Amino acid sequence: MRLPRPTTAGAALLLLAAISQPAAAAWQTIGEVTRVERAGNAVVFATAAGSALAVTLISPSVVRVRMTPAGKPAADFSYAVVPGANAGISPVVVDAADRVDIRASGAIHVVVEKKPVLSIRIYDGNEHLVVGDDPARPLAFDAADGAVEATKLRPDGELYYGFGEVPLPLARQQQSFAFWNTDAGNYPPGSGPIYQTIPFFIANDFRAGGRSAYGLFFDNTWRSHFDMGARDPARYSFGAAGGDLDYYVFTGGTERSPANVLRDYTALTGRGPLPPLWALGYQQSRYSYTPQAKVEEIARTFREKEIPADVIYLDIDYMDAYRIFTWSPTNFPDARKMLSLLHGEGFHVVTIVDPGVKVDDKYAVYNSGRDAGVFVHDAGGNELHARVWPGICAFPDFTDPKARAWWGGLYAKSLAEGVDGFWNDMNEPATFPAEDSTVPVTMFDASKTFSLDVKHAGDGSPGTHARYHNVYGMQMARATNEGLHKLRPEQRPLVLTRAGFAGIQRYAAVWTGDNIASWEHLALTVPMLTNMSVSGVPFVGADVGGFNGTPSAELYTRWLQAAVLTPFLRTHSAIDTEQREPWTWGGEFERINKETIELRYRLLPYIYTLFAQSEADGTPPLRPLWFEYPRDAKAALVDDQYLVGKDLLVAPVMQAGSTKRRVYFPKGDDWIAWWDGSRHDGGTSEFVAAPLARLPLFVRAGASVPTEPVIQHTGEAKNAPLTIVIAHGGNGASRIYEDAGDGYAYRKGASRTIVVTQGDAGIELAIPANRGFQRVAALEIVGLDAAPREVKIDGKPTTARFDASTRRLHIALPNEAVKRVALAK
């Protein structure tokens, strides 16, 4: 970068200017429209600056805008978009002297003003403005260094959510942040960028009655930035260091609802597939459980203490000197035996696999990668070498299909040994400083990854690391996922990744990296995980207890409660911390932790149903309150509660020493306390008791939630009968999804969906024929003030058990043919 030579007086000012804008900057606006033409489904505008801007209607509620500064678009290629999902529809176009109208009839309407400078406004089917350019700040680009930027007008009161993994408060108005995947262990709340890049947000204006949600996805893999009204509350802007200004706007359809926005966004970038049931169980990890006998002891202890668990993780120390796809001969002398022993106890095992391949010509993985030509090369054409755990490593170019296929094949060895799932870490990519380096490395240091001029294949659109850095981790997870599908097509893979880009949900679960064992970090998990969820990533979790540091007994117990209904549930801890298992603190803490994990298992049929829904329509299992209640202004900023599906409201205690907390009950529904059946009106706030042993948990009146008895691991689920918990005093229908829990037969119809309807005439059950799934054995009506005078099953009186202390009525069902259950007062 060329800096101007400052005079002494102006030095500080000029330096500031130089930081925000390189001295050689040559920003210019897109200019006025000089020509309009059709190209397939796109309407293409040529502008005075020599740029091209293509507008494509993707569907009646989605539009794509792609500005190519130099006018000649390169091949249309995106890692985020599902191939073919942006083909577009044929628009109705009216080209007038000063503007062009582009419509899908009765739906989205785009207006492009031609003069004095191109500017765009997008309307919904009711001709309400969704989002509009600021004519005073047109689309712009820097002809010298390739940067691009857009600015939109921001109505006062419009709030923003999403943006994936950003360690900031829930709502993102007046926040500004950048995206550059970074190994930012110990990330301080409020800082960034961290591990993932998801340049997508959902806007909502609660004051407009909640009919005003829309979404925007900036499909650009370069270092990008957003300013959501931080500099100026009247506008927001986004841009990137290179590439096209390529973005999609999702109008949310006629209802303008957040759920519609997310459905459309995930139609474009893909949906998280249904995980194997075992991956939804409790998972235990540590950096590192070693040696082999220790791993076996941990597994045995879970079973002896009857604390349910499904998965054990092996972190980097299982390997031989950190060489991936090897085992330490001293610490894991007989890995196969260990794995089969763990399988015998109902555990699945996940191993960590980092991208760095030790440069060592006696190491088979390195030799095969070098011979196959799959490693990244630097600008000078040499194999890129950088230091990570094993020492000097080479790195697969995951943007090369050949490298992905090679990588995917490596897992054959692990699968043959009996490993069940895989954990891809360090894939921002992260590198260490050279061994002899004396330069201190800061948290967000640019030196912690490849140099920007390193070369990538880019799947036929070759480019530098500056362009492909942010997708490296996603393409690694993809290579792992695709390899597992190929090697083991009958089983659903579990891949866990730290880095990712928009669309990562197609390939992996995501955890939020190296958080800290503090109350502050615990509180941060709610805005982080719910924002990930509404960014299209359903399978998310944070290290329970906080990775770095040792939590107090109370912090761990509260953290486990807060996390227990989050999608990906795993305790994990750093190498220099004290032991951390649910029993570590003994006594009352051990008992409570056990009960907390038992709650997870009781509710697994519900969580599983939510994942099936997520695969079908993109609605995530974990939801911030505003997502379901976009017209409730009081729900807009609630960042210490969350919804699981639309039926469970969780209000965890996230403050030291607290034994009660204020809970906001979203407006429009009433809520029944899970534990005592007490009723809480929607739209009110109340203090509720939350002794250490209790997670404040509420079920929506009218909802029916499937539960099962406590099992020790999901392998025992098949024979566990379902009890459907029905929250009294609201009408509504709920669906319960069942299938084999693994494999893909469900995609060919091997599943069933039970419908439970609560109405004025009682409870109606529609239970399809059972094909070997968990049977429906009982109903439990929660929230009744007194026992009913009579209970009838299909017209015949029956006995039922009422527990006044929990306000629960337990009704055993004789069989699955039952159609109606009625209560008489």
Residues lying near ligand MIG in the complex (CB under 6 A) are found at 287, 315-316, 352, 425-426, 498, 513-514, 547, 572
Instruction: Work out how close the CB of 617 gets to ligand MIG at its nearest, in angstroms, rounded to a whole number.
Output: 31
Nearer to ligand MIG, 570 or 646 (CB): 570
Which of 144, 143, 118, 127 has its CA nearest to residue 65?
A: 118
For 380, left (φ over 0), alpha (ψ -120 to 50), or beta? alpha
Nearer to ligand MIG, 121 or 498 (CB): 498
Instruction: Work out how close the CB of 329 gets to ligand MIG at its nearest, in angstroms, rounded to a whole number.
Output: 20
Nearer to ligand MIG, 246 or 428 (CB): 428
Pairing relationship of beta strands 391-394 and 455-456 according to DSSP bridges: unpaired
Beta strands in 292-431 (DSSP E): 311-314, 348-353, 357-358, 386-388, 391-394, 421-424
Distance, in Å, from the CA atom of 376 to the CA atom of 395, rounded to the nearest integer, reads: 6
Question: Terminus-to-terminus CA distance in the chain, angstroms?
Answer: 80
Instruction: Work out how close the CB of 641 gets to ligand MIG at its nearest, in angstroms, rounded to a whole number.
Output: 27
> Which residues make Cβ contacts (< 8 Å) with residue 554, sequence separation at least 6?
589, 656, 657, 692
Nearer to ligand MIG, 574 or 727 (CB): 574
Contact in structure between 689 and 658 (CB atoms under 8 Å): no
Instruction: Work out how close the CB of 354 gets to ligand MIG at its nearest, in angstroms, rounded to a whole number.
Output: 7
- CA–CA–CA angle 636, 638, 640 (5° rounding): 160
Pairing relationship of beta strands 762-766 and 751-759 according to DSSP bridges: antiparallel
Contact in structure between 609 and 616 (CB atoms under 8 Å): no
CA separation, residue 471 to residues 234, 412, 468, 701, 715 (Å): 32, 25, 6, 43, 35
Nearer to ligand MIG, 244 or 317 (CB): 317
Active site residue 371: no
Distance, in Å, from the CA atom of 502 to the CA atom of 199, rounded to the nearest integer, reads: 7
Nearer to ligand MIG, 265 or 389 (CB): 389
> Which residues make Cβ contacts (< 8 Å) with residue 321, sequence separation at least 6?
328, 358, 390
Sheet of 214-218: strands edge to edge?
Answer: 33-39, 42-47, 52-59, 62-68, 245-250, 214-218, 200-204, 159-162
Nearer to ligand MIG, 313 or 501 (CB): 313
Residue that has been written with the tokens 């640019």 in this structure: 446
Residue that has been written with the tokens 């949900």 in this structure: 505
Phi, psi of 460 (to 5 degrees): 95, -10
Tokens of 290: 């070693």
Q: Give SS3 for 122.
A: strand
CB-nearest residue to ligand MIG: 287
The amino acid occupying position 750 is A
Residue that has been written with the tokens 């790195």 in this structure: 395
Which of 432, 397, 412, 492 has its CA nearest to residue 747?
A: 492
Which of 472, 457, 464 has its CA nearest to residue 402?
A: 457
Nearer to ligand MIG, 88 or 513 (CB): 513
Instruction: Work out how close the CB of 425 gets to ligand MIG at its nearest, in angstroms, rounded to a whole number.
Output: 5
Sheet of 148-153: strands edge to edge?
Answer: 27-29, 140-142, 148-153, 235-240, 224-227, 176-179
Give me the long-range contacts of 99-105 (CB less than 8 A, separation at least 24): 100/33, 100/36, 100/43, 100/45, 102/43, 102/55, 102/57, 102/63, 103/57, 104/57, 104/59, 104/60
Contact in structure between 372 and 432 (CB atoms under 8 Å): no
Nearer to ligand MIG, 426 or 457 (CB): 426
> Kind and range of the H or E element at 344?
helix 335-344
Tokens of 110: 């785009």
Nearer to ligand MIG, 312 or 695 (CB): 312
Active-site pick, 124, 397, 428, 590 = 428
Residue that has been written with the tokens 């941060």 in this structure: 524
Instruction: Work out how close the CB of 321 gets to ligand MIG at its nearest, in angstroms, rounded to a whole number.
Output: 14
State the greatest distance between any 2 C-alpha atoms of the chain, in Å, as a whole number.
Answer: 94
Instruction: Work out how close the CB of 340 gets to ligand MIG at its nearest, in angstroms, rounded to a whole number.
Output: 25
Nearer to ligand MIG, 472 or 547 (CB): 547
Sheet of 386-388: strands edge to edge?
Answer: 357-358, 391-394, 386-388
Instruction: Work out how close the CB of 580 gets to ligand MIG at its nearest, in angstroms, rounded to a whole number.
Output: 12
Contact in structure between 768 and 777 (CB atoms under 8 Å): no
> Which residues make Cβ contacts (< 8 Å) with residue 7, sequence separation at least 6?
none
Nearer to ligand MIG, 257 or 424 (CB): 424
Active-site pick, 354, 425, 598, 615 = 425
Which of 83, 506, 604 has its CA nearest to residue 273?
A: 506
Instruction: Work out how close the CB of 574 gets to ligand MIG at its nearest, in angstroms, rounded to a whole number.
Output: 6
Distance, in Å, from the CA atom of 255 to the CA atom of 746, rounded to the nearest integer, reads: 31
Instruction: Work out how close the CB of 133 gets to ligand MIG at its nearest, in angstroms, rounded to a whole number.
Output: 40
Nearer to ligand MIG, 400 or 425 (CB): 425
Active-site pick, 149, 400, 482, 514 = 514
Instruction: Work out how close the CB of 572 gets to ligand MIG at its nearest, in angstroms, rounded to a whole number.
Output: 6
Active site residue 425: yes
Instruction: Work out how close the CB of 314 gets to ligand MIG at its nearest, in angstroms, rounded to a whole number.
Output: 10
Instruction: Work out how close the CB of 350 gets to ligand MIG at its nearest, in angstroms, rounded to a whole number.
Output: 12
Please identify every residue annotated as catalytic: 425, 428, 514
